[in-house]
């Protein structure tokens, strides 16, 4: 028998009011409150909380507070990932972020989605799509990454961009919706 949690993680329609998911969100909120009460010099406390909260993380990760997730266990960070203040990760599906990626303040990474059909929304159903962000990506402040997006290695997401489609490696995008920027001519 498939549980609502299994359906959620698989990206299928699920009921978010399921008792197990409610408990999981409460657990995440407890850890989030503990983490958000720390300061940068609370290094060991932060590591302990992150190890309980997140699905996985590499060494050298730095997450400035406040930092928010739905569940935490679907967040997987490579080594030396940096999050600036006020980031929100709605992780109903996996969020995977590669080594040395830097994420500006108030960035939202949103795997959560809602059905387009009104009868499904009326029934309380939701679903999600995973997000993958490559290695050495730079995401500017206030950017929003929408469900199902993949961002390639070494890409740049401009501040305030709304990323609705996948971004290839080494491409810079900006705007709403985010579109590739044409590189300026190099000057000597």
Q: Catalytic residue numbers?
A: 114
Residue 20: cis peptide before it, omega within 30 degrees of 0: no
Of 85, 110, 120, the closest CA to residue 15 belongs to 120
Contact 53, 28 (CB under 8 A): yes
Three-state secondary structure readout of 46-110: HHHHHHHHCCEECCCCEECCCEEECCCCCEEECCCCEECCCEEEECCCCEEECCCCEECCCCEEE
- Sign for the CA dihedral angle at 68, 71, 74, 79 comes to positive
């Amino acid at each position: 028998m498939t549980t609502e949690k299994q359906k959620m993680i698989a990206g299928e329609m699920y009921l978010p009011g399921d008792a197990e998911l409610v408990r999981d969100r409460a657990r995440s909120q407890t850890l989030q409150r503990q983490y958000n009460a720390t300061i940068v010099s609370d290094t060991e406390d932060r590591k302990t909380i992150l190890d309980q909260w997140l699905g996985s993380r590499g060494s050298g990760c730095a997450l400035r507070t406040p930092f928010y997730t739905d569940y935490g266990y679907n967040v997987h960070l490579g080594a030396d990932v940096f999050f600036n203040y006020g980031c929100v990760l709605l992780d109903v599906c996996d969020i995977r972020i590669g080594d040395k990626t830097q994420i500006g303040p108030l960035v939202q990474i949103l795997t959560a989605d809602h059905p387009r059909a009104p009868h499904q929304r009326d029934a309380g159903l939701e679903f999600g799509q995973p997000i993958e962000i490559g290695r050495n990506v730079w995401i500017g402040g206030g950017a929003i990454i929408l469900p199902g997006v993949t961002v390639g290695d070494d890409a740049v997401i401009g501040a305030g961009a709304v990323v609705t489609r996948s971004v290839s490696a080494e491409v810079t995008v900006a705007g709403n919706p985010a579109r590739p920027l044409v590189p300026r001519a190099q000057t000597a």
